[in-house]
Structure formats: structure tokens, C-alpha cells
A = this chain, B = another copy of it.
Amino acid sequence: MKLYDCQFAPNPRRARVFLKEKGLDIPFQEIDIMGGENLKDDYLKINSTGLVPALELDDGNIICEVPAMCRYLEAQHPEPNLLGKDAYETALVEQWERFAEMNGMQAVGEVFRNQLPAFASRGLPGMSDIGAVPALVERGKNRVAAFYSKLEQRLTESEYLASDRYTLADITAMCVVDFATFAEMGIPEANTKTQKWHAACQARPSAQA
């Protein structure tokens, strides 16, 4: 197996943390997103959406989209379980992982891409000729604030995001928070449950991935 990766980007990090939690050590091939390598023909043959990461299997088949590759890897390597131990927990992991992605990752990305000169014509991941929309910086910041508020509410009810234990939902949410912090939108001081949860995620060796 091989992971098409980009070390600085938050989305491929979800896959790297998951691999590390599984104890899987596979080669990474760096794709230069800043330089637009993901939008060129060679990479579009690997993933037509232009998104990084992509997982190449030993038979040459490719799996795109982080949750899809994690589900495949979990089927091959069931332990430690990160996607749910029964049907209901599995549903909660998927639900909260999507919460983190749609409300968190997309919101931070909206702020980041629409204010960075390097992405002036790349306002959306994987696409060329999508001009930045300055009004989305403000909108994205409001979305990030709403995400932090709902995350704190959830972590008041539950030790981890989906369940009482660490799962893929926490991996994605941690990658969101670290991306937000990099973009100067760190966890609000008053959100003590989120800070405690984040410290627990960061203390795991996989957080270095």
C-alpha cells in the first residue's frame, strides 16, 4: 500500500493518524498541493476530484476519501477498533465524524483558502479556477465559532466525540482543531471540556503523524 499525502494539509493528516493508531507503517508519496500538483493530469488520473489523500492498494486499486479508506483499513485490520463495535456505535462514529468535517474542517478551510493569496484562484479544494470570495472569510469564522460551541456542548455530554472512547470522530476533530489553531482560531479559553479532550488526543503518539 501507499498513501498519496501532503504533510502540511489537515485532510491527509486524518489518514496518517488513523494509520498510526492501527500500527500500519506504509510509504507516503508527497503531493505538492501548494504548487498545484494535485490539479495536474498525473494526479487527476489517481483521483479525479484532485483531493489528497488517496490510498493505493497492493493490487493497484485506489481508494479516495478519508472515511472510505479508513473503513477499508478497519476491515483488513480490525484492532484497535476505531469505527464502532456495534451498529449503533458505528452510526455515532460516522455521524460525529461528519459533524467534525462538515461543520469544522469545511469552515476552517473556508477562512483559510479565501484569505490566502496563494489560493486566490483556488477557493475550493481540488478545483482550479474557483476564485476566492472575500465574504467567506467572515462567514467561515462564524461557522468555526458555531462548531466550537457545538463541540463543547457535545463534550459536556460525552468524554470523546462519538462515544466514551477514542474513535475516528476524534481523529478528524483533532485535525480540525489543530488546523484552526494554525489559522489563528484556537479553542476558546472558556471551552474547558474541549481543551481537556484535545489534550487527551494530543497525548497519543498518533498525534505526531
Contact = CB atoms under 8 A, between A and B. Distances in A.
B150 A68 contact: no
Contacts of A48: 150, 153-154
A71 interface: yes
A61 B48 CA distance: 38
Contacts of A33: none
A88 B123 CA distance: 32
B130 A133 contact: no
A40 interface: no
Interface of A: 48-49, 57, 61, 63-65, 67-69, 71-72, 75-76, 87-88, 90-92, 94-95, 98-99, 103, 123-124, 127, 129-131, 133, 135-136, 139, 142-143, 146, 150, 153-154
Contacts of A68: 91-92, 94-95, 98
Nearest to A55: B91
Main secondary structure, interface of A, reads helix
How many copies of this protein are present in the complex? 2
Contacts of A69: 91
Given A87-B72, A153-B48, A92 B63 contact: yes
A153 B127 CA distance: 16
A150 B123 CA distance: 19
Contact of A75 (B90, B92, B98): B90
A4 to B, nearest CB: 14
A99 B154 contact: no
A121 to B, nearest CB: 12
